[in-house]
Amino acid sequence: MSLDSYVTLGRSGLRVSPFTLGTMTFGEDLGWGSSPQESANILAAYLDRGGNSIDTANIYTNGHSEKIIGDYFAGRSALRDRVVIGTKFFGNLYENDPNGGGPGRKAIVQQLENSLRRLQTDFVDIYWLHNFDPVTPVEETLRALDDLIRDGKVRYVGFSDVPAWAAAEAATIARFRGWAPIIALQLEYSLLERTSEGELIPMAQALGMGVMPWSPLKSGFLSGKYSSATTGPVDTTRTQLVGAPSEADYVVIDALDAVAREVGASPAAVALAWVQGRPGITSTLVGARRIDQFEANLQALDVTLTEAQRGVLDDVSAPTLNFPADNNRTLAPMIQFGGATVDGRRSTVSPLLQAGGARY
């Protein structure tokens, strides 16, 4: 795999790299990010390898991330047209302003205008709803986004961190109204966070949405910095923000380290390769604070896991999902297929069916 092995994002005509460059770390404003120069170096390295998908948000380093990206592409209009820039709305940059953020029409329009100003571009390729507001009518949000697409300021729409039922409702309304569809989801997904497998990822697959996982290294827990055998300080500046791995996390981390040694790659590369190879995943968000970290993460492009190695990681990280996930996975095929093999999966015969031979 390579960054220029492009993939189609959901039910759309948009093609992106299998790894999308995440830029939440662009800017040192919060005390732990990358300097503008280091950010530019990371961006250049990504583009030089054939990468074409860049993800940011209006609130990343209070708008500095967008500005760094805008400064990089300023005067490079031809290059700008060849990349896919996605940014997000929802986050409020103005204290005590009730309309400064969120998915209402007034908020969406002003957030986009400010993002376009910082990015120094006339349009964004993907405009992502960054979070969920249960009060604002989804019709208001969808119509405002459709208007922005008709105005040429937005090309595609995506949802991030929205419950499956709300995303499905929005996708259905957009389809029936003839408004711009939701082509992709962003969600947290890693060996240490797999609960999206319950409803979000199956919903995306059923409705033709691509999936872009964020935090595939779980805030650095899967980067190789941590193991149950390691003592002493860890090379991270975000401990106060994200905490440290739990005892249950270390069971998964140690298994990842063992597979990484077997593969001859870093734990981070193996963790990223595992995520990108999972069902329903289109393009994984990869970021870094330093250029050496970024280049190390890109080694995941060269990692191929065997079925046995994937099985080890799948089993050790298996999540506990909400009802009815387990019921649908085990009971449903038992009572539906009665022991038959369907689509390559063998079912079991229900004990209730075997209990008596009479059929009425």
- Residue-wise over 91-113: b if at least 16 C-beta within 10 A, else e? bbeeeeeeeebbbbbebbbbbbe
Q: Give the β-pairing of 19-22 and 154-160.
A: unpaired
Tally Cβ neighbours within 10 Å of residue 193: 19
Out of 6, 46, 60, 189, which one is annotated catalytic?
Answer: 60
Tally Cβ neighbours within 10 Å of residue 259: 22
CA separation for the pair 283, 275 (Å, rounded) = 9
CA separation for the pair 5, 185 (Å, rounded) = 20
Q: Is 54 helix (H, G, I), strand (E, B) or coil?
A: strand
Residue with tokens 């999936």: 211
CA separation for the pair 249, 247 (Å, rounded) = 5
* 60 assigned to active site: yes
DSSP single-letter state for residue 352:
H
* Catalytically annotated residues: 60
